[in-house]
Chain A
Amino acid sequence: MYRYDEFDRQFVAERVEEFRDQVARRLSGELTEDEFRPLRLMNGVYLQLHAYMLRIAIPYGTLNGRKLRRLAHIARRYDRGFGHFTTRQNLQFNWIRLEDVPDILAELAEVEMHAIQTSGNCIRNVSADHFAGAAADEVADPRVYAEILRQWSSLHPEFTFLPRKFKIAVVASPADRAAIQVHDIGLQVKRNEAGELGFAVWVGGGLGRTPMIGRKVRDFLPEAELLSYCEAILRVYNLHGRRDNKYKARLKILVHEAGVDEIARDIEAEYEAIRARGALAMPQEEIARIRAYFAPPAFAQLPARSSVFEAAKADSRSFALFAERNVAPHKVPGYGIVTISLKAIGAPPGDATAEQMELVADLAERYSFDEVRVSHEQNLVLPHVRLDDIPAVHAALAEANLATPNAGLVTDIIACPGLDYCALANARSIPVAQRIARRFADIERQKQIGDLKIKISGCINACGHHHVGHIGILGVDRKGEEFYQITLGGSGDETCSIGEIVGKGFSSEEVVDAVETIIETYLGLRQGPEETFLAVFRRVGEAPFREALYADA
């Protein structure tokens, strides 16, 4: 994991004191709300439905036990004993007092954390594959590049006042577990025929009110050129991005309106100009220095098959289910990647109590080389666990209601905070997720349905990624009533697609039945258990689903 150097430490400490002074001046009345709002947003402080909300950056979703324990401490001391993990791999606290924020930021700084660039029109927390460094299919650790981008983009003077927010995601495997094609810049680390590392580059993806899939502008960008090329993209966006209408100010709109060919030409022209002036090529020694922070831990040489793991599967039905869904293949024999579901049936997706955070911190330190990940799907991950140890990890998780064996199943639902917490929301998300989870609580039924991603947003800003849900649910306000519009066939993986609206919306009372109708229709259409919901939708289209949903209309 990256460790702060002297410069980082001093910079974050100074930022805390700067904000402490700004908060004091706001509370004394020296600063007006109009003056203070942009300052608090730059430090991750929003005014939400019930109170101030503090969004804390978790760069590329990587935590260790100490950091997670500190988050638990903050939850308990300054909030209501829990936090909410977001689809940007960050953490939000919902009930923070403004006067406490400077102390909270100081406590975060002690463990090398902060809330900078978790809001505002800047480059946001760079996200990455939550299986980074562990996935069997990756060509390199994408966090090396996410960290380089984080350092480069932190308070970058040219890119601090962009037309709108700007999001970057990095993966390093053919399987896209970070939804890179719905980011302003999506990067896939890959090797060329000569075996050199570089990037496939997508630009102009995004969700929100105008969902767009990114367009590929480079199939192979050499590793050393990453920052210069990103600078060219940002510069084109900063210059040409619309500032007259916040709803049209994202890079995706620029790419859509001008066309990808023109934008690609602009980027390449800007890049050539940067190169002519002596582009910043990332020095190999600097890449190596950052890479060293992400060096693989001291894995033991183990047999690929663990008799302890296999025996536990044979002995315990609950462990067998957990092993089947929540343990992914690790690149090192004898290890597994454990997904900790924050989607217990009936629980708010992505929420974790202070006690749960502390337990996960303990398990990470004891069993996973002190590493924890936050996934954009609002789960936690222990990336490096010996197969021999997974039964013990499972038993400990089960005690804390963290062992629900539903990773990737119908009840592993992404949901934004919705109208229960969010000032922008039009409808509630969490209760819908809870009711769907309860309807499909039977694990055998979930397994029968197979891989299925339901994603729920409480407004068009799409924090719940509904556009890329296999089944997407968007909450809307219709004359004061909550209604839910359903989209089908979305996907945030390497086969990225935006879901299609299937028809008129459903009332809150109707929406769970509608989801069940869709799923029953799928089960009737599939050619076998191996044909997933998404595969069936892509084969047959929306017509049979629409027919089933609106047969009586």
Chain B
Amino acid sequence: MKKEAKGAGPKVLTANALDSGLVVFRTADGRWSTDIAEAAVAWTKEEADALLALGEADAARNLVVDVYLVAMTEGENGRLVPVLLREAIRAARRPTIVMPGEDPSVIAA
């Protein structure tokens, strides 16, 4: 179940695209990307509030739905990754399993 990111630490803003429903992340230049690596990172509460306000404005303009902040943490190689498995699965844009008809190497990779 969805959990709002609270407390300190870096955050990114996520939503679902209105037309496709795909998971998207807000970028620093105001786009919505399906790649979390392109997401703008808020390091402070003020930055997070500002990012959320921008996202909610985009929702009001019917670009995206279900806007919320995702808590991030430092992963391997120093890259930011979602704290929660749920958000890691969303960011990966796929389930953790091999889907029917898929090459099993997609998971191994």
CB-based contact B95/A430 at 8 Å: yes
CB under 8 Å from chain B, chain A span 79-95? 80-82
CB-based contact A423/B1 at 8 Å: yes
Taking CB atoms, residues of chain B closer than 8 Å to A352 are: 100
**Is B93 part of the contact surface with A, judged by Cβ < 8 Å?**
yes
CB-based contact B100/A347 at 8 Å: yes
- How distant is the Cα of A434 from the Cα of B104 in the complex, in angstroms? 14
CB under 8 Å from chain A, chain B span 86-102? 86, 89-90, 93-97, 99-101
Interface centre among B1, B61, B94 (most CB of A within 10 A): B1
**Is B18 part of the contact surface with A, judged by Cβ < 8 Å?**
yes
CB-based contact B86/A49 at 8 Å: yes
Taking CB atoms, residues of chain B closer than 8 Å to A419 are: 85-86, 89
**Is A52 part of the contact surface with B, judged by Cβ < 8 Å?**
yes
- How distant is the Cα of A459 from the Cα of B18 in the complex, in angstroms? 26
CB under 8 Å from chain B, chain A span 339-358? 347-348, 351-353, 355-356
Distance of B22 from chain A, by nearest CB (Å): 5
**Is B75 part of the contact surface with A, judged by Cβ < 8 Å?**
no
Interface residues on A, range: 35 or more
User: Which chain B residue lies CB-closest to A481?
Assistant: B85
- How distant is the Cα of A29 from the Cα of B66 in the complex, in angstroms? 15
User: Which chain B residue lies CB-closest to A51?
Assistant: B21
**Is B62 part of the contact surface with A, judged by Cβ < 8 Å?**
yes
A interface footprint on B27-46 (CB within 8 Å = 1, 0 otherwise): 00000000000000000000
**Is B83 part of the contact surface with A, judged by Cβ < 8 Å?**
yes
**Is B59 part of the contact surface with A, judged by Cβ < 8 Å?**
yes
A26-B18 contact in complex given A80-B99, A423-B2, C-beta closer than 8 Å: yes
CB under 8 Å from chain A, chain B span 62-109? 62, 65-66, 83-86, 89-90, 93-97, 99-101
Taking CB atoms, residues of chain A closer than 8 Å to B100 are: 81-82, 347-348, 351-353, 356
Q: Among B21, B59, B85, B89, point to the contact of A52 (Cβ < 8 A).
A: B21
CB-based contact A33/B19 at 8 Å: no
**Is A425 part of the contact surface with B, judged by Cβ < 8 Å?**
yes
Taking CB atoms, residues of chain B closer than 8 Å to A47 are: 16, 21, 65-66
CB-based contact B83/A480 at 8 Å: yes
- How distant is the Cα of A50 from the Cα of B93 in the complex, in angstroms? 6
- How distant is the Cα of A482 from the Cα of B95 in the complex, in angstroms? 15
Taking CB atoms, residues of chain A closer than 8 Å to B99 are: 80, 82, 348, 351
**Is A125 part of the contact surface with B, judged by Cβ < 8 Å?**
no
**Is B48 part of the contact surface with A, judged by Cβ < 8 Å?**
no
Distance of A502 from chain B, by nearest CB (Å): 24
- How distant is the Cα of A81 from the Cα of B22 in the complex, in angstroms? 17
CB-based contact A426/B1 at 8 Å: yes
A99-B97 contact in complex given A423-B1, A425-B1, C-beta closer than 8 Å: no
B interface footprint on A420-437 (CB within 8 Å = 1, 0 otherwise): 110111101011001000
- How distant is the Cα of A51 from the Cα of B95 in the complex, in angstroms? 12
What would be 23 A-B contacts, judged by CB atoms less than 8 Å apart?
Answer: A29-B62, A33-B65, A33-B66, A48-B21, A49-B86, A50-B22, A50-B94, A50-B95, A51-B20, A51-B21, A51-B22, A52-B21, A80-B99, A80-B101, A81-B101, A98-B20, A348-B97, A351-B99, A423-B1, A430-B95, A430-B97, A480-B84, A480-B85
Q: Taking beta carbons and an 8 Å cutoff, which residues of B are in contact with A?
A: 1-2, 16, 18-23, 59, 61-62, 65-66, 83-86, 89-90, 93-97, 99-101
- A sample of 6 more A-B contacts (CB under 8 A), given A26-B62, A33-B59, A48-B21, is A50-B22, A97-B20, A352-B100, A419-B86, A420-B95, A459-B1
Q: Taking beta carbons and an 8 Å cutoff, which residues of A are in contact with B?
A: 26-29, 32-33, 47-52, 80-82, 96-99, 347-348, 351-353, 355-356, 419-421, 423-426, 428, 430-431, 434, 459, 477, 480, 482
